[in-house]
Amino acid sequence: MHFSSSYLIAAAATLISTVSAAGCLSFSGSSMVIISPAQGQVYNVGDSMRIVWNVENPTDTFNDLSVTLSLSDSKNPNNAVTVTGGELGNNKPFLVKNGEATVSVPNIPSGTKYSVKATYRDVDEAKTWTQCYSPVFTINNGAAPAVVTAAAAASSSSGPSSNVASVSALPTTKGSSAVLAASSFAAVVAAAIML
């Protein structure tokens, strides 16, 4: 089977933007990495949460993309599950170029493995939905029991699926596009090997 080079580049860009835990690499070469909330940070329901992201190699088109933010249960990094009631900013979109958003922590169950999920439609012809995740943090809710999702619990006990590439998160400091590209490339190679 023979694929054209443009098809392979488009397929690799799609894999990079959806597999990399280090951030989102867009089809255009721009990237977005959520750096705050920081790993291990603790919030209480009702607190103000400042979400900050870096943009590398921005284009005007990428900067003008709308991003929606929500909370995910990330107990199993291979199966982050969107939290019911975890919409942030009243589900109002933010622009990539803003680089930050301040939201109120919603009334959700206590948990130690939450992450912020940023979702946007990429600039490729297919307008691929792309998701980025922040480092993992804690939310305390004195009134609600700890969150347990069946999908996350079942997946974490059985280990990663044989067709999912495990990708480690990079440190949450401002990274270079070279580091992001290298980790994304490694994820694409790992995913391609498993195909």
Q: Give the span between the Cα atoms of 178 and 13, in whole angstroms.
A: 15
Contact 65, 121 (CB under 8 A): yes
Check residues 147 and 191 and name the one with the higher pLDDT: 147
Looking at the predicted structure, is the pLDDT value of residue 181 above 90? no
Q: Give the span between the Cα atoms of 169 and 190, in whole angstroms.
A: 15
What is the pLDDT confidence band of residue 157, given thresholds at 50, 70 and 90?
very low
Question: What pLDDT, on a 0 to 100 scale, did the predictor assign at position 145?
Answer: 55
What is the pLDDT confidence band of residue 173, given thresholds at 50, 70 and 90?
very low
pLDDT digits (tens, 9 = 90+) for 30-85: 999 999 999 999 999 999 999 999 999 999 999 999 999 999 999 988 889 999 99
Q: Does domain 5-194 have CATH number 3.20.20.70?
A: no
Looking at the predicted structure, is the pLDDT value of residue 189 above 80? no
Which tokens in the block code for residue 149? Answer: 């999702």
pLDDT digits (tens, 9 = 90+) for 105-131: 999 999 999 999 999 999 888 899 999
Helices vs. strands in the chain: H and E counts, helices first: 4, 11
Residues 61/86/170/40 CA torsion (nearest 10 deg)? 140
Q: Which of 152, 172, 78 is nearest to 109 (CA)?
A: 152
pLDDT digits (tens, 9 = 90+) for 5-16: 433 444 443 333
Question: What pLDDT, on a 0 to 100 scale, did the predictor assign at position 146?
Answer: 54
